A and B are shown apart, each in its own frame.
Chain A
């Protein structure tokens, strides 16, 4: 059974940093692109970043470019998102998702909540 489990969320002050992690199991992690998608309270889904299976290509939404860094460690079946210079409006549940061809996200984790507040 494919499973994705996120961790690392929490309360952080504006301008602060946080590192999110996602561990995959039940599939060969290194064969899939992965991504992060966030959802602010009561709002819709927003794509944040994606990384190719070997990390050779990385893409970011314009809103997070230069502040967030996506990375992966295929030896540990893990995906990470480093969030720097966080803003209040980036309070959201952050989901990791497995990505198929054409940006289809076929499996999602349960999400981890990031709260940016003073």
Chain B
């Protein structure tokens, strides 16, 4: 994948988990247009973070985003059972369109 994510992450209920997303100087390192999507099995992706750190209406503030250089991060605080899902980062890449990460499976222990 054009963006690199760890394949898995886990945490106990109430704990925090952070997922990284690494790109390049022409995408994450250049644009403040990183978005994160949550996907439960058999469902469509759901937008949870956009423009690096903004949350759409209705998304709990347990979800937060940040960026440093070519790496963006998603932190899920106060893990809940329903947070168990796949998470994908994405960014705008100019003429290359949109790039997605390979996805990270979050397991709530």
Contacts and interface: CB of A to CB of B under 8 A. Distances in A.
Interface in B6-63: 31-33, 35, 37, 44-47, 50-51, 56
A95 to B, nearest CB: 6
Interface of A: 35, 37, 44-47, 49-50, 59-61, 95, 100-111
Contacts of B100: 37, 44-47
B90 A103 contact: yes
B45 A44 contact: no
Interface of B: 1, 31-33, 35, 37, 44-47, 50-51, 56, 88, 90-93, 95, 97-103
Contacts of B93: 103
A102 B44 contact: no
A60 B96 CA distance: 8
A45 B99 CA distance: 9
Contact of A106 (B56, B98, B103): B56
Contacts of A102: 31-33, 35, 50-51, 92
Nearest to A4: B44
A105 B44 contact: no
Contacts of B46: 108
Given A102-B33, A104-B51, A108-B45, A44 B101 contact: yes
Given A44-B102, A100-B50, A102-B92, A61 B33 contact: no
Contacts of A50: 97-98
A104 B35 contact: yes
Contacts of A109: 44
A35 B97 CA distance: 10
A25 to B, nearest CB: 16
